[in-house]
Amino acid sequence: MPTLLRRIRPLRTRLLLLLSVVGPGIITANVDNDAGGITTYSIAGAHFGYSLLWLLALVALALIIVQEMSARLGIVTGKGLADLIRESFGVRATAWIIGIVVFANLANTVSEFAGVAASMEIFCVNKYVSVPLVALGVWLLIVKGSYKFVERIFLVASAIYFSYVLSGVLANPPWDKVFQAVHTPTFHVEAGYVTIFVTVIGTTIAPWMQFYQQASIVDKGLKVNELGYERVDVIVGSLFAVLVAAFITIACAATLFANGIRIETAKDAALALKPLAGQYAATLFALGLLNASVFSAAILPLSTAYVVCEAFGWEMGVSRDWKDAPVFFAVYTALIVLGAAIILLPIRSLVEMMLASQTLNGVLLPIILIAMLKLINDKRLMGEYVNGRGFNVIAWTMVIALIALTAILVVTSLFPGVFR
Amino acid sequence: MAYLSELLGRQVHDAKGTRIGTLDDVLILPETNGDPYPRIVALAIRNRSHQPTLLPWGGTEDLAGNRIILQRPSATKYQAKGNELFLNRDVMDKQVIDIHGARVVRVNDLELAKIGDDYRLVNVDIGLSGLLRRLGWEDAFEHLTERFHRPVPSRSICFNDLEFVPRGDLKVSVARTKLRELHPADIAAILEDMSPREVGRLIHDMPDEKAADVMEELEPEFQAEVLRTLPDERAADIVEEMEPDEAADVLQEMQEDKRAQVFNLMEPDESVEVSALLEHPKDTAGGLMTTKYVTVPPDILTADALQRVRQEALAKEAETIYYVYVVDAEDHLVGVFSLSDLVLASPESPIHPITHYKAKRVQVTASREDVLELIAKYNLLAVPVVDEDNHLRGIVTAGDALDLILPEEWKIRLPRLF
């Protein structure tokens, strides 16, 4: 036994060293492609073909802008986003913003458990078995404190996403059409279309990401002179996340949209991996979805608990026990229990559930963005690192566009056909 | 008595009833030494102008009513000295250290009360009730809690028991001395709740020795993150003051370039000692051991041995003097005797009768489990570490070994999200 350990250790150390180079931006971007993300991009490709690819190009830009601001906020102030919100906006505004974040994160957690249920159904495991088991496992993982090591396994396992890139290429889509779609904006006012629009934005630039990334930057103790390095990390991470998203869309468009197949269950979405994996497509898809879902199902409740406690000054940290940090564990546990319990209700469609949670992300995003923009333009906080004018123009345009889209979404869902 | 949250935004009038503006902030001078309740020195009042005006506190104002009435509004503005604290801007909603409770908390409200003629800051509210009051949910909650016969937990601390978490936008230099008076382990417990940069700033303000003591109480991984935020020179000074085994641990956790720089800036004799330890893997006896112990040659008298213990213990800053190791001229481990045997033996007798020649020892390559087992089995305070040729290379103290078996929750400062 000791000799075995001795042999494994150097390998592990080397692996950890390699991964320690991976920065907060890349990690956050990787978690970004969670159950909700995979589902959204799959449906975008399967139901709308290549027509949304131009949006993804814009979303990549928006993601870089938002994540760069979050990185800059973290590096310059050395504080988390919840911390800054509380210190700058006072208790009332904080209660609202944090309330919204908790709500959005709960919706996301629900979608992660939907992802667990959907992927395990491919392996013929009933959701009444898989969801409670995973919920318990995730809860124990954090409470027992073995998370850090497991996280690296998740990260390595998310290399499964590359199978989408391969599958997308092997499906041999009409590349000229694909490239044309990237720079041909199309838009029409129709409930389904606007929904997927907001959903794609919401799932790619989810509100929890800014909190998560900023916290990890603060934890790393990055200094202002490392801002340049961190920007590279953010840009690489964002581009990678959107590239994977684009290939999920392309793979689905080439296999599903081309044959007029609509995604009703996760099994349908797995067909997109057929050019790569053949008959094993479903297995490969299920493994990828399961990994993404469990990974995020662990992170989201934990991140939420930190955000809540950070904002209101309650004791926090996995190293404490229930008595010392009751709110921390209560929030964490409540999110997992609620997230899992909602999935155990009789739900018509897991896929729709995942999609709806991401739409909600998109609707709530402007609120977080406005808070971030106010913070980053605060001279007292940021000194010379406030946004430049051009940067502000782009960022505010984004916020206004998102609000407009949300408004159209609400109107078209309530009064279908109003714009016709 | 008044809460700052309720005062802010109130109308400020002069005695004739003319409106001056609304209350924007309240200024105190924390430097009034020894005074547990700092006095209000000025009010920041906002009228149409962009910047709030600072008006000196006259002492006759009443804060209890719905509007603040300045009896004798001064014609001259308050001349800021530069070390005033703006209660709303600098203290409200901020993270502070509760020295007594030894933890980081958030300020939910500030309580001002009239003592004599002056209004002073008497309490810093860090409890749930303050939070609820500011949300306007106090009544609703009181109603609820009355039903369950449990009061809303209210907690507050005195301004004197408060220490500021260092941050970039706090220009006021508030002397950070209270924290230093705590035990290093308590300080470390507080620091674990902060970000590496904030800890770096606090550590930076401490004398090298204190900083090193505090650092040793933190997890090596966190230590490395904190040292990252310090200038290389300063990091080297602190690492020098740490026990060599702890220093080796933190150096191992650091990134290669930073480690090299810190290492090169260390005093040669300290860095030599540390580099000897760095050769060994972290979880072997070699990685755990310290090189600060006391040795004597085999053929001396008890009195001389005692004299030597006194000198060496000081010179080497020995981690333990309860065991004295007997080594020959080539540093071979011959035996060991305890301090109590030494003190009890007659001064003129040689050390031979009190020396244990079959001292338990471990090889530098021994696993930490082996070390632990030996210490536990023979109830040792320290175990000597030798190489293949029986040269004494270091000792592992029971204290350092204990750190290995403490329940995980005690030791691990888990990464916050990851």
Q: Whole-angstrom Cα distance, residue B301 to residue B310? A: 14
> Least CB-CB distance to A91: which of B94, B134, B416?
B134
> Least CB-CB distance to B105: which of A151, A223, A313?
A313
Paired tokens of A222: 């990055």
Which residues from chain B sit within 8 angstroms of residue A75, using beta carbons?
A: none
Please enumerate in sequence order all residues whose Cβ is within 8 A of that of B88, keeping only pairs 6 or more positions apart, or say none: B4, B8, B24, B25, B26
pLDDT value of residue A145: 63
Q: Is B325 helix (H, G, I), strand (E, B) or coil?
A: strand
Paired tokens of B279: 């050769």
Which residues from chain A sit within 8 angstroms of residue B134, using beta carbons?
A: 90-92
Does residue B418 surpass a pLDDT of 60? Answer: no
Hey, which CATH number is domain A25-414, 3.30.420.40, 3.10.450.230, 1.20.1740.10, 2.60.40.10?
1.20.1740.10
Question: What residues in chain A have their Cβ under 8 A from chain B's Cβ atoms?
Answer: 2, 27, 76-80, 83, 86-87, 90-92, 95, 145, 147-148, 151, 212, 215-216, 218-221, 223, 299, 302-303, 306, 312-313, 315-321, 380-381, 383
CA B340 to chain centre: 35
CA distances from B127 to A75, A86, A305 (A): 30, 16, 19
Q: Do A87 and B415 touch (CB under 8 A)?
A: no
- What is the b/e burial string over A389-402, where b = at least 16 CB atoms within 10 angstroms of the residue's CB? eebeeebeebbeeb
CB A31 within 8 A of CB A174: no
Q: Greater confidence, A381 or B101?
A: A381
Strand B68-70 relative to strand B11-14: parallel, antiparallel, unpaired? Answer: parallel
CB A217 within 8 A of CB A230: yes
Paired tokens of B260: 């090299």
Which residues from chain A sit within 8 angstroms of residue B107, using beta carbons?
A: 313
CA B7 to chain centre: 35
Percent of chain B residues past pLDDT 90, beyond the cut: 16
- Other residues' Cβ atoms within 10 Å of the Cβ of residue A368: 26
- Write the DSSP string, A168-185: HHHT---HHHHHHHHT--
Please, which pLDDT band fits residue B169 given cuts at 50, 70 and 90?
A: low
Please, which pLDDT band fits residue B14 given cuts at 50, 70 and 90?
A: confident
Q: Do B225 and A218 touch (CB under 8 A)?
A: no
Mean pLDDT, chain B, rounded, equals 83
Residue of chain B whose alpha carbon sits nearest to that of A148: B418
> Least CB-CB distance to B229: which of A27, A95, A221?
A221
Find the helix packing angle between A162-170 and A227-255, rounded to 10°. Answer: 40
Q: Which residue of B192, B197, B417 is the best one to mutate when testing the A interface, meaning the one whose CB has the most A CBs within 10 A?
A: B417
Q: Do B414 and A148 touch (CB under 8 A)?
A: yes
Distance from CA of A222 to the nearest CA of B (A): 8
pLDDT value of residue A59: 93
Residue of chain B whose alpha carbon sits nearest to that of A93: B135
pLDDT value of residue B33: 62
Among A51-55, B31-35, B86-90, which is the least confidently predicted range? B31-35
Paired tokens of A299: 């992170």
Does residue B412 surpass a pLDDT of 50? Answer: no
Token pair 């057929």 is found at: A274
Distance from CA of B149 to the nearest CA of A (A): 20
Which residues from chain A sit within 8 angstroms of residue B197, using beta carbons?
A: 78, 218, 221, 223
Please, which pLDDT band fits residue B168 given cuts at 50, 70 and 90?
A: low
CA distances from A339 to A97, A357, B62, B417 (A): 20, 12, 52, 19
Which residues from chain B sit within 8 angstroms of residue A380, using beta carbons?
A: 169
> Least CB-CB distance to B417: which of A145, A302, A321?
A302
CA A79 to chain centre: 22
How many CA atoms are closer than 13 Å to the CA of A298, on its beta-carbon side? Answer: 29
Distance from CA of B347 to the nearest CA of A (A): 48
- Other residues' Cβ atoms within 10 Å of the Cβ of residue A278: 9
Paired tokens of B84: 């005033």
Q: Which residue of A79, A150, A300, A303 is the best one to mutate when testing the B interface, meaning the one whose CB has the most B CBs within 10 A?
A: A79
| Among B346, B314, B312, B347, CA closest to B326 | B312
B193 at the A interface (CB within 8 A)?
yes
pLDDT value of residue B416: 39
Which residues from chain B sit within 8 angstroms of residue A10, using beta carbons?
A: none
Distance from CA of B147 to the nearest CA of A (A): 22
Q: Whole-angstrom Cα distance, residue A110 to residue A296? A: 11
Q: Whole-angstrom Cα distance, residue A360 to residue A200? A: 11
In tens, the pLDDT along B270-289 reads 888 888 787 787 778 888 88
Q: Whole-angstrom Cα distance, residue A405 to residue A196? A: 11
Q: Whole-angstrom Cα distance, residue B230 to residue B166? A: 14
> What are the residue boundaries of the structural domains of chain A, listed by start?
25-414
Distance from CA of A380 to the nearest CA of B (A): 6
Which residues from chain B sit within 8 angstroms of residue A312, using beta carbons?
A: 106, 131
CB B343 within 8 A of CB B306: yes
In tens, the pLDDT along B334-373 reads 999 999 999 999 989 999 899 999 889 999 888 888 888 8
Q: What is the mean pLDDT of residues B68-75?
A: 72
Q: How many Cβ contacts (< 8 angstroms) between chains A and B?
A: 102
Residue of chain B whose alpha carbon sits nearest to that of A317: B416
Percent of chain B residues past pLDDT 70, beyond the cut: 90
B94 at the A interface (CB within 8 A)?
yes
B21 at the A interface (CB within 8 A)?
no
How many CA atoms are closer than 13 Å to the CA of A188, on its beta-carbon side? Answer: 6
Q: Whole-angstrom Cα distance, residue B285 to residue B397? A: 11
pLDDT value of residue A3: 42
Low-confidence ranges of chain A (pLDDT < 70): 1-22, 145-151, 319, 416-420
Q: Whole-angstrom Cα distance, residue B230 to residue A254? A: 54
> Least CB-CB distance to B169: which of A216, A302, A381?
A381
Q: Do A220 and B196 touch (CB under 8 A)?
A: yes
Which residues from chain A sit within 8 angstroms of residue B167, using beta carbons?
A: 77-79
Which residues from chain B sit within 8 angstroms of residue A223, using beta carbons?
A: 197, 228-229
> Least CB-CB distance to B197: which of A221, A315, A319?
A221
- The letter for the amino acid at B273 is E
In chain B the domains, ranked by start, together with CATH numbers, are 2-148 (2.30.30.240), 182-279 (1.25.60.10), 294-404 (3.10.580.10)
Distance from CA of A300 to the nearest CA of B (A): 9
